[in-house]
Amino acid sequence: MDIGHRMKELRIQYGLTQQELADRSELSKGFISQLERGLTTPSIGTLLDIIQCLGTTPAEFLPMTSRNKSFFHRKIILKKSTKNAAVW
């Protein structure tokens, strides 16, 4: 998933300009533009702030694809089996 594309999609859906989103998230309009065009990536904290300003949640912003679900499911199973493994 392209974070910038998703940001732009939600911004337009909610009728916000880049300037309005920038003001709400205390970022510059130029930075929002760069994010939407995929020229830069936000830090996790900045992304969470933007998601909140767009009135959504991280789970709604980044919907899990079947590939992602499979990856995370395997990681959880591996961690559980390693954690519960007997020590010989």
pLDDT digits (tens, 9 = 90+) for 26-54: 999 999 999 999 999 999 999 999 999 99
Q: Which residue has the tokens 């998230």?
A: 25
pLDDT digits (tens, 9 = 90+) for 64-86: 654 445 444 444 444 544 455 45
Instruction: Give dist(CA 39, CA 55) in Å, integer.
Output: 24
Q: Which residues of 61-76 are buried (b: 16+ CB within 10 A; e: fewer)?
A: beeeeeeeeeeeeeee
Predicted TM-score of the model (pTM): 0.69
Instruction: Give dist(CA 48, CA 61) in Å, integer.
Output: 10
